[in-house]
């Protein structure tokens, strides 16, 4: 009751899950993002597509049994895509089974025209994505059309995707064909899929920026999460040989070989800039 009075109680949704508290939203969800439009020299070559793998799951069961209302974070999804679009790239949106993309709509920056306009423009693609299963069935030759795979963050990226063998297949495909992989915040959980079925984890020895476990441990205090996380992302990555270089949920990004990562929603704009410039530099020099 005291938490409810103070605005620290997570908000109960109609399906029994919990969205962040009033205080958490005020602290963590600004009305506008820090997106800054940049004029890129647009890419005009054959590898103009980016495969965007999103979650189709909404509710994360926490250690205490409560469900967190999650999905893909809209800023973490849209800001990188805005920069990549400005750089001349287009997107194929997929979810594991072809169900609609789930967004953390409570995190939508409702006064940000750039984000809202992009969401409206691509809403049909998000509502009617292709299934990753179908995409993989016709994979041969696609490497000539794609520059990168992008896996947005949001806690929803930890639902199903790290255990999805098809995600592992597509990441191995990208790695073997020198495509870039772009991800941020909790999105690097998807990389765990490359070690399924006893396969070698292809990112062992890589440096990354990832949302810190230490911050996930703290956020239940302000009602951002309704309980503690079911598992620790950074711990799992570290156990597989990843070096996580950030300590805070900040705007840090990092490029290690063909992997581009960002630490948090605060890194979404910087990640988009880094990804756009990296892809343009690589493809224009081929």
User: For 83-132, what is each residue's pLDDT tens digit?
Assistant: 999 999 999 999 999 999 999 999 999 999 999 999 999 999 999 999 99
Q: What is the mean pLDDT of residues 266-280?
A: 98
Catalytically annotated residue among 185, 192, 240, 268: 185
Give the model's confidence band at 7: pLDDT under 50 very low, under 70 low, under 90 confident, else very high.
confident
Give the model's confidence band at 140: pLDDT under 50 very low, under 70 low, under 90 confident, else very high.
confident
Least confident of 83-92, 138-147, 204-213: 138-147
User: For 28-67, what is each residue's pLDDT tens digit?
Assistant: 999 999 999 999 999 999 999 999 999 999 999 999 999 9
Residue 1 pLDDT: 60
Give the model's confidence band at 5: pLDDT under 50 very low, under 70 low, under 90 confident, else very high.
low
Residue 4 pLDDT: 67
Assess whether 185 carries a catalytic annotation: yes
Percent of the chain with pLDDT over 70: 98
pLDDT exceeds cutoff 90 at 259:
yes
The domains found in the chain, sorted by start residue, are: 41-96+127-284 (3.40.50.880)
pLDDT exceeds cutoff 70 at 274:
yes
Residue 3 pLDDT: 66
pLDDT exceeds cutoff 80 at 262:
yes
Ordered strands of the 130-131 beta sheet: 130-131, 90-95, 49-53, 146-151, 180-184, 259-262, 253-256
pTM score: 0.96
What average pLDDT is seen over the chain?
96
User: For 243-255, what is each residue's pLDDT tens digit?
Assistant: 999 999 999 999 9
Residue 200 pLDDT: 92
pLDDT exceeds cutoff 70 at 6:
no
Residue 285 pLDDT: 78
């Amino acid at each position: 009751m005291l938490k409810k009075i103070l605005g620290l109680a997570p908000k109960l949704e109609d399906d029994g899950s919990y969205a962040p508290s009033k205080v958490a939203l005020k602290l963590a969800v600004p009305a506008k993002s820090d997106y800054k439009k940049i004029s890129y020299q647009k890419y005009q070559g054959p590898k103009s597509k980016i495969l965007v793998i999103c979650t189709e799951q909404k509710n994360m069961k926490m250690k205490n049994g409560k469900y967190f209302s999650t999905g893909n974070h809209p800023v973490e999804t849209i800001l990188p895509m805005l920069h990549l679009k400005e750089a001349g790239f287009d997107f194929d949106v997929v979810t594991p089974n072809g169900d609609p993309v789930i967004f953390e709509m409570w995190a939508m920056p409702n006064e940000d025209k750039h984000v809202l306009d992009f969401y409206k423009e691509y809403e049909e693609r998000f509502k009617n994505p292709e299934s990753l299963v179908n995409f993989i069935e016709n994979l041969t030759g696609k490497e000539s059309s794609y520059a990168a795979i992008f896996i947005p963050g949001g806690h929803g990226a930890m639902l199903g995707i790290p255990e999805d063998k098809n995600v592992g297949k597509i990441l191995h495909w990208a790695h073997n064909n020198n495509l870039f992989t772009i991800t941020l915040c909790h999105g690097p959980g998807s990389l765990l899929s490359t070690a399924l079925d006893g396969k070698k984890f292809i990112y062992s020895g890589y440096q990354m920026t990832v949302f810190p476990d230490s911050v996930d441990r703290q956020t239940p205090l302000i009602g951002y999460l309704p309980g503690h996380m079911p598992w620790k992302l950074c711990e799992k990555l570290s156990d597989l040989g990843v070096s996580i270089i950030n300590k805070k949920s900040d705007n840090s990004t990092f490029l290690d070989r063909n992997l581009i990562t960002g630490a948090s929603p605060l890194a979404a704009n910087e990640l988009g800039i880094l990804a756009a410039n990296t892809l343009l530099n690589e493809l224009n020099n081929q």
